[in-house]
Amino acid sequence: MMRLLLFFFGIILTLLISTNANAQYICGDNNDDGSVNVGDAVFLINAIFKFGPLPIPDCIADANNDLSGNVGDVVYILNYVFAGGPPPGPDCCDPFLCGDVNNDGDITPADVLYLTNYLNGVGDPPVPDECVGDLNQDGSITAVDLGILVNYLNGGPPPPEGCCGIP
Ligand SMILES: [Ca+2]
Ligand SMILES: [Ca+2]
Ligand SMILES: [Ca+2]
Ligand SMILES: [Ca+2]
């Protein structure tokens, strides 16, 4: 049963995640009524377990911004509505911040350290996808990309927005 559920989630995740990044939306407002409340948790449960309609755009289902739309987002919404947890989003449809290689939502010296460790073979690759570390979009992560990151933190131009192919 568990394996079946996991398989099913895999299909749903593929369905839920899209690259629609420019529509007006509220992350977690799955039923599009203008606010995030328990109805949105129910909406997402229906989408996952009962083949109900998907939110539009479907990326807003990713309330916890981990690049998947699943029961974790139902829990996240319930925690927000009932337990004072953090609100969804706002970047659920724009998950790739180029240069934020440790995926904490910001570009800071910690990203330089993360990327340096990776280039030295002692750290993990950039998350959530290696593409956020390819700042010059040449298909590989090198010292040049690290240089762009360092330069930005020293007041240079910001990394490009489309390093992962999503402008
Ligand atoms: Ca709603
Ligand atoms: Ca999620
Ligand atoms: Ca970061
Ligand atoms: Ca590169």
Q: Could you state, in order of their start, the residue ranges of all structural domains in the chain? A: 2-83, 96-167
Q: How far is the CA of 115 from the centre of ligand 2 (A)?
A: 25
What's the confidence (pLDDT) of residue 164? 77
Q: Does domain 2-83 have CATH number 1.10.1330.10?
A: yes
Q: How far is the CA of 82 from the centre of ligand 2 (A)?
A: 18
Fold match between domain 2-83 and domain 96-167: yes
Question: How far is C-alpha 80 from the geometric centre of its chain's CA atoms?
Answer: 18
Q: How far is the CA of 127 from the centre of ligand 4 (A)?
A: 15
Looking at the CA of 115, name the nearest ligand.
Answer: 3
Looking at the CA of 93, name the nearest ligand.
Answer: 2
The CATH number of 96-167 is which of 2.40.50.140, 3.40.50.2300, 1.10.1330.10, 2.60.40.10?
1.10.1330.10
What's the confidence (pLDDT) of residue 5? 52
Query: Residues 162-166: contacts with CB within 8 Å, 24+ apart?
Result: 162/98, 162/137, 163/96, 163/98, 163/99, 163/131, 163/132, 163/134, 163/135, 163/137, 164/96, 164/98, 164/129, 164/131, 164/132, 165/131, 166/19, 166/21, 166/94, 166/96
Looking at the CA of 98, name the nearest ligand.
Answer: 3
Average pLDDT over residues 92-119: 91
